[in-house]
Amino acid sequence: MYSAIWWACTLVGLFVTTLCVRRARRQPRVFTWSIAAAFGICTIGVFFAVPAVEQLASDTTGVPNVAKIVAHTCAILWCASLQITMVDLAYRQDYLRTAVIQRTFVALVWLCIMIPLFLAANGHNVEFTTDHADDSQIASYLMIYLTYVLITCAELAFMCARTAQRNWATRPWTGWGFAMSSIAAALGVAYTISKGSYVLFYTLDHPWSLAVEQKMSPAFSGLAVLFLFGGLTLPMLGGALRRWRGHETTSRDEESVSA
């Protein structure tokens, strides 16, 4: 079931990334290119989350769990790209440079913490999942990764909701799109709470059901990706519809003049 979710996310991601790159070439701005980068990075991440691809990557490289660190690195960079997107849309231009530097720096620092932890804990008999929450190194790695995702998704939920509210009356497609993106970020928060709370309560010797966590967490993350893809695609569709209507109106005016 979850393999099908990740394959679906990968295919949708390829399609949406293509649309975003086309728009970025037409309208080169920070937010258009950062959205295109976010979708491209996310597509790579969800591709490596497919179990068959994960196994193939380990067999090909000879490095166990290599797909997991690729997927988690993509998640960090994806969140950072989305933060830069929303900063360009939600804040003043004079703050943009500082915001880009801040968020890039934080993402790189987080990766510099995560990667050594991954290398120290990695091995042929371990997996970086809640199945191995009894391993203190893996638990630490997961909590550091999930903390970053929690913080960035919470900020994204706030910024997307504010942008949706600001555009609701004048640009309904954009309003609906950012409302969906806010829901996607909230689902990302739910994912981190689901997985992180299991690790935390396991560490405190009061774990809740692992089977329930392993059903909830992939569902939350898969839905978050799909909602985000849909949410950030709607403004593009709305813009294309406005351009088509404008072209149609112009054609009618020209026909009236000719008559």
Q: What CATH number is attached to the domain comprising 234?
A: 1.20.1070
**Residue corresponding to tokens 């989305």:** 82
Residue 246 confidence (pLDDT)? 60
Would residue 247 count as lying in a domain? no
**Residue corresponding to tokens 């199945």:** 131
Number of domains observed in the structure of the chain:
1
Would residue 256 count as lying in a domain? no
Residue 253 confidence (pLDDT)? 44
Q: For residue 31, how many C-alpha atoms fall within 13 Å in the half-sphere facing its CB?
A: 14
Tokens of 152: 């960035």
Residue 193 confidence (pLDDT)? 94
Would residue 97 count as lying in a domain? yes
Domain extent for 31: 2-241
Each residue's pLDDT expressed in tens, for the chain with a length of 259 residues: 567 777 887 888 888 888 888 888 888 888 888 888 988 998 898 888 888 888 899 889 888 889 889 989 998 998 898 888 888 877 777 777 888 888 889 999 999 999 999 999 888 788 888 888 888 899 999 999 999 999 999 999 998 898 888 888 888 878 888 899 999 999 999 999 999 999 999 988 888 888 888 888 888 988 888 888 788 778 777 666 666 666 545 444 444 433 4
Residue 2 confidence (pLDDT)? 61
Would residue 82 count as lying in a domain? yes
Q: In whole angstroms, what is the distance from residue 39 CA to residue 135 CA?
A: 33
Residue 244 confidence (pLDDT)? 63
Q: In whole angstroms, what is the distance from residue 207 CA to residue 211 CA?
A: 11
Would residue 73 count as lying in a domain? yes
Would residue 259 count as lying in a domain? no
Residue 239 confidence (pLDDT)? 64
Would residue 184 count as lying in a domain? yes
Would residue 38 count as lying in a domain? yes
Q: In whole angstroms, what is the distance from residue 175 CA to residue 44 CA?
A: 28
